[in-house]
Amino acid sequence: MARFDALVVGAGPAGSTTARELAAAGARVLVVDRATFPRYKACGGGIPLRTERLLPFPIDSVVEDSVHLLDVSLRGRHRFVRDSGAPFAHMVMRDRFDALLLAHAQRAGAEFRPATTVRALDATGAIRIEGEGGFAAEAACLVCADGAHSPVGRMAGLGEGIAECAAWEVEVRAPEAALRRYRSRSLIDLGYNPWGYAWLFPKANVLSFGIVLPREQAGRMKDLVRAYTTRLGLRDAEVDIARGHKIRFRRAHEPIANDRVLLAGDSAGLADEFTEEGIAYAIQSGRLAARNILRVLGGEGSLRRYETDVDREIMPELRAARLIGFMFYGMLRRAPRPWMWASAHTPYVWDAFFAVQRGESTYEREAARVPLLPRLAARMLRE
């Protein structure tokens, strides 16, 4: 049986980041994924510039577009456009982006086993995982970076009680004129009760459409995205792929680590509740995971310290984003037209948003500028 210092299940941003940093430090790492890479990943593919800053290598080779225009509407009405003056996000296809991160992990020395689904986990001695075809491997530590469903995380008894929402994404092969029209521009359509938004993100050869809503409204997503594409004149455009997925939100102290197993990225519910973006937090959690595994391999304590690190270094930002999201959607629900007018004519709101996306500020810092925000957000949530 193959033995490693660490096993990583899932080769997305969290898993590949963990593997790259561990391998670069001299650890022997195996990454296992049920897919063969590159593989399609349901995701809008918006990468805030702050995400790029977390990586020690450029991502230019996989950037399809860079956006500086934010085009906001309320179910197609009360539209306004904010120009950030410089790109605040890159647009990528996740198959290429994730393959790039995995390639860097392999370059650092991590081993990769594709097309392997983990069917069993045994943690009575060393951590042991098993899969089809007689596959088995052991290690001192295990990272579950296997997405929002996280079947391996569930095997480890971690991640229970994490909140979630639903998303639906469609890749549309739009006419050239439409591709030009939306170049450097991301569209956000609001007004979905009680909260949520539809989006259009430009890519080199396709337009990505999607919607995110509370889980109980998942059944409405296809019709709402169809209505959105129709409103934009793209009802008859060729659909390359359409797929749903869920997004999880860790809100409190849901368990994401034990002595030798931890959850990273989507598995741990590390996405913010304002934009529903999680790639930056996936990469950040991968770095924290590697740091803690190296401590354990060096004889220092257990992986429970990883959960403490996440609580200290990531959760304050997620809590601040949640407060901002509750306030924003609550105001939109109570007074849609006045709130859209105020949003369009208050430069601070979007200047702060752009600063956070570029990594020049944080949600926590911006929320602290509004001392009444927690009380206001709580009131919006109740109503």
Contact 217, 166 (CB under 8 A): yes
Contact 362, 316 (CB under 8 A): no
Q: pLDDT confidence of 133, banded at 50, 70, 90? A: confident
Residue 346: the pLDDT is 87
132 with 268, same domain?
yes
- CA 226 – CA 29 distance, rounded (Å): 44
Mean pLDDT of the chain: 94
**Which of 283, 313, 343 finishes a domain?**
313
Residue 380: the pLDDT is 62
Q: What HEC string does 287-302 produce?
A: HHHHHHHHHHHCCCCC
120 with 269, same domain?
yes
Residue 60 within any structural domain of the chain: no
Give me the CATH number covering residue 156.
Answer: 3.50.50.60
Residue 376: the pLDDT is 67
**Which of 247, 262, 294 finishes a domain?**
247
Instruction: Give helix 13-24 / helix 94-108 axis angle, nearest 10°.
Output: 20
Judged against a pLDDT cut of 80, whether residue 373 lies above it is answered with no
Percent of the chain with pLDDT over 70: 97
pLDDT tens, 178-218?
999 999 999 999 999 889 999 999 999 999 999 999 999 99
24 with 102, same domain?
yes
pLDDT tens, 52-109?
999 999 999 999 999 999 999 999 999 999 999 999 999 999 999 999 999 999 999 9
- CA 143 – CA 259 distance, rounded (Å): 12
105 with 34, same domain?
yes
Contact 212, 245 (CB under 8 A): no
| 347 vs 256, higher pLDDT | 256
Q: Characterize the bridge pairing of strands 69-74 and 185-190.
A: parallel
Closest CA to 288 of 269, 266, 305: 305
Residue 351 within any structural domain of the chain: yes
Residue 125: the pLDDT is 84
Mean pLDDT of 135-154: 97
Residue 134 within any structural domain of the chain: yes
Residue 378: the pLDDT is 66
Across 1-5, 260-264, 298-302, which has the greatest mean pLDDT? 260-264
CA 212 to chain centre: 13
Spell out the residues 6+ positions from residue 8 whose beta carbon is closer than 8 angstroms to its own: 15, 18, 19, 29, 30, 31, 32, 110, 142, 143, 145
Q: Characterize the bridge pairing of strands 29-32 and 111-113.
A: parallel
Residue 319 within any structural domain of the chain: no
**Residue 346 one-letter amino acid:** T
Which 8-state DSSP code applies to residue 36? P
Which 8-state DSSP code applies to residue 102? H
Residue 232 within any structural domain of the chain: yes
236 with 341, same domain?
no
Residue 83: count of CB within 10 angstroms of its CB: 12
Domain that holds residue 75: 66-88+163-247
Q: Is 86 exposed, middle or buried (0-12, 13-18, 19+ CB in 10 A)?
A: exposed
172 with 287, same domain?
no
Element (H, E) at 241: strand 238-249
In the three-class reduction of DSSP (H, G, I as helix; E, B as strand; rest coil), residue 288 is classed as: helix
Vertex 16, ends 12 and 22: CA angle to 5°?
A: 155
31 with 100, same domain?
yes
- Starting at the edge strand found earlier in the chain, the sheet holding 63-67 runs 46-48, 89-92, 63-67
**Residue 288 in tokens:** 């924290």
285 with 174, same domain?
no
| 251 vs 374, higher pLDDT | 251
Most distant pair of Cα atoms in the chain: their distance: 65
Residue 382: the pLDDT is 56
Residue 49: count of CB within 10 angstroms of its CB: 18
100 with 75, same domain?
no
Judged against a pLDDT cut of 60, whether residue 8 lies above it is answered with yes
Mean pLDDT of 220-244: 93
**Which of 247, 265, 293 finishes a domain?**
247
169 with 199, same domain?
yes
Return the residue matching tokens 């741990």. 268
- 191: alpha, beta or left? (left if phi > 0; alpha if psi -120 to 50): left
Give me the CATH number covering residue 187.
Answer: 3.30.9.10
Buried b (16+ CB within 10 A) or exposed e, 326-358: bbbbbbbbeebeebbeebbeeeebbebbbbbbb
Residue 57 within any structural domain of the chain: no
Residue 243 within any structural domain of the chain: yes
39 with 110, same domain?
yes
How distant, in Å, are the alpha carbons of 73, 87, 229 from that of 232? 12, 24, 5
150 with 22, same domain?
yes
Number of domains in the chain: 3
Residue 59 within any structural domain of the chain: no
Any idea which of 153-157, 179-183, 235-239 has the lowest mean pLDDT? 235-239
Mean pLDDT of 1-28: 97
